[in-house]
Structure 1
Amino acid sequence: MRARPPLDPDRDEARRLFQDELARGDYQLQESWVSRAWRWFTDLFSGFGGLGPLPGWVTWVLLALVLVAVLAVLAFATRDRWRTARLSGHGAPGAVLEGPARAASEHRQEAAAALGAGDHDRAVLEAYRAVAAGAVERTFLDDRPGRTAHELATGLAPVFPDARDELLTAADAFDAVRYGDHRATAEQARQVVDLDARLDAARPALAETAS
């Protein structure tokens, strides 16, 4: 077979061939999503409010504000998941009252002794257990095994509405010490001991018991 002669296109044909070659996917430049997002953001604020082009520093400030807002939303949305993951290093939060049943007064005495000895972890645990045992003894809650710290706080919130936030804070402290391997501070220990004492002396807001 005879070899074909070399291709010798005219000017128009050469231009057409060159454009066809550039149109192939191998020569298409792909813009990254970061570049596209940045271009969209700068275009969005370039004429903000009809004031004309804004200085470059304004764009950076607006970008920082947007990022802070996004991070705040993400932090709020994932706070419960973060708390669960933090506690799950040694297992999920479990029951407040464990082992043989003891009177609230026994837990209360152990909490006071632990607080006096500087054992803040045990003071938090025993004081919150005194809250749990006292709620059962006064029939504010039924004697249900396996009730968690936050279930206790939620169940007692209608009975002691003024102490709702303190109950939730004490529940967090109990879980962090008992199931999250955290150390309680002296302030946390005193707060839970004081909370138990106030609830023990307080009259309930509801006549009926909570389950």
Structure 2
Amino acid sequence: MSPLLSYGGGPPIARDPARELARRELQKPVYHQDEPSFVERIFNKISDWLNELYHSLTGVGGGGGGGWLGIVVLVILLVVVVAAVWWRIGSVRRNAAGPKPLLGPGTATAEDHRATAERHAAAGEWPEAIRERLRAIARDLEERAIVPPRPGRTADELAAEAGAALPDHADALAAGVRLFDDVWYGGREGDADGYRRLVELDSRLRDARPVPLGGVS
């Protein structure tokens, strides 16, 4: 039989329930508010590791040459660690942002978006130029009733819906949206070649006609 313990001046309770009560009490935030956060613990571990590595490398051979070599190696490793952390944080932020609606609530026409895209392209602002050209494609497809106007439509949804209405251009639409996603959300560099491909896609789609209902041409 478990020994009985007195808890808070009340009637005695068994050891196992007392242990559970104590565990719940110690889980309260008030007992942990001064503890370092998860990020602080990670950076503390990295700092300790770098400190140990510094003493290890700069003590090689007991001479000045080994010390300088150790410092150089340490700096290189530190740069790699910082770059890895920066890239990871940037990736998390990009993923957290998620795909946004391609077209905003405004009334800009396809020609308005094309003109804006050309201004960005002339200034070498390729990500913005690529985004505006894809917006021009989306608005043009809405204006010609190939896809219904729908607030909140993302670029991927545009590719799926327009690809179903224009099956001959489905692959090109998917490739154009993939280019947009890579540049706008994936952090890749936009360039003149990518913009040119969207201009060509826009031109081809302006002459395209949707497949009639039932697939009869």
Shorter-chain TM range is 0.5 to 0.7
Once residues 110 and 135 of structure 1 are traced to their aligned partners in structure 2, the CA distance between those partners, rounded to angstroms, is 18
The answer to whether the aligner puts 1:193 opposite 2:196 as a matched pair is no
CA positional deviation for 1:93: 0.9
Normalising by structure 1, report the TM-score: 0.52
Q: Which moved more, 1:89-98 or 1:103-112?
A: 89-98
Once residues 192 and 119 of structure 1 are traced to their aligned partners in structure 2, the CA distance between those partners, rounded to angstroms, is 15
Structure 1 vs Structure 2 CA RMSD: 2.3
Unaligned runs of 5+ in 2: 1-90
Between Structure 1 and Structure 2, how many residues are aligned?
124
Unaligned runs of 5+ in 1: 1-84
The answer to whether the aligner puts 1:115 opposite 2:121 as a matched pair is yes
AA matched with 2:139? A
Normalising by structure 2, report the TM-score: 0.51
Q: Which has the higher contact order (CA 8 A, sep 6+)?
A: 1
% identical aligned pairs: 35
8 Å contact 1:87–1:93 — kept in the other structure? Answer: no
Aligned pairs (5 A) from 1:1-211: 88-206=94-212
From the superposition, tell whether residues 86 and 156 of structure 1 become closer, same or farther in structure 2 (CA, over 3 Å). Answer: farther
Q: Deviations over 1:122-174 (max 9, x none)?
A: 22101100111111111111111111111000101122222211111111122
SS in 2 for 1:158: helix
8 Å contact 2:120–2:129 — kept in the other structure? Answer: yes
Which of 1 and 2 has greater Rg? Answer: 1
